[in-house]
A and B are shown apart, each in its own frame.
Chain A
Amino acid sequence: QVQLVESGGGVVQPGGSLRLSCAASEFTFRGYGMHWVRQAPGKGLEWVAFIRDDGKTSYYAHSVLGRFTISRDNSKNMSYLQMNSLRPEDTAVYYCAKDPSGWSGAFDFWGQGSMVTVSS
């Protein structure tokens, strides 16, 4: 069964940085695109970023463009989300999600999430 395990969340001050990691297993990681989706406390889902299977193409939500960077290491079966210039409105549970193909834009498996709190 596909497994996605996020790590790296925590409490950070406004303007600070944090890097989330997503460890993938039980599927051929290099063959699939990967996403990050977030959910603010008590709110709905918001797609954040996507990276294609080969790592050469990425897309971002307008709200994080220029501040967040998605990356992946296919040799380690890992996906990352580097978050800079964090704002209180970035407070959320961040989910790593697998794309059903190289870059279809859907999410067929999800991790359990990593909480990020931006507060002074």
Chain B
Amino acid sequence: EIALTQSPATLSAFPGERATLSCRASQSVNTFLAWYQQKPGQAPRLLIYDASDRAAGIPARFSGSGSGTDFTLTISSLEPDDSAVYYCQQRKNWPLTFGGGTRVEIK
């Protein structure tokens, strides 16, 4: 089973600042990695798939990068609406696995 480790656990930043979230896999997942955003009381929403492709309707301030074992989700200029928990997920091998999440707080 592929383990995904996300860091930091919590990120606190001001509106307009850049946020960088990390996801590390226990073995290579090539680029079979996705990122999801979950706000309180809501279902998750797909942001990025295959490491760097934005899902439909996702603002350009969200971008993904990486391959192999190290991945990054960047929010170029934080907005108040970006307050949420962000999860990475691999689809290289079954069982599918998620990282533990990074909570983004807007100051």
Contact of B32 among A45, A60, A61, A105 (CB under 8 A): A105
Chain B residue total in the interface (Cβ 8 A): 24
Interface presence of B1 (CB below 8 A): yes
The contact string, 1 if C-beta is below 8 Å from chain A, for chain B 19-57, is: 000000000000010101010001111100100000100
What total of A-B pairs shows CB separation below 8 Å?
Answer: 58
Chain B interface mostly: loop
Q: Which residues of B contact A35 (CB under 8 A)?
A: 96
Q: Quick check: which of B10-18, B69-77, B87-95 contacts chain A, the rest being far away? A: B87-95
Interface presence of A32 (CB below 8 A): no
Question: Are B95 and A59 in touch, CB under 8 angstroms?
Answer: yes
Nearest Cβ on chain B to A66's Cβ, whole angstroms: 14
Most buried by B among A62, A100, A105: A105
Chain B residue at minimal CB-CB distance from A111: B43
Residues of A at the B interface (CB closer than 8 Å) are 35, 37, 44-47, 50, 59-62, 95, 100, 104-113
Cα A59 to Cα B1 with chains together (Å)? 13
Contact of B43 among A50, A100, A106, A112 (CB under 8 A): A112
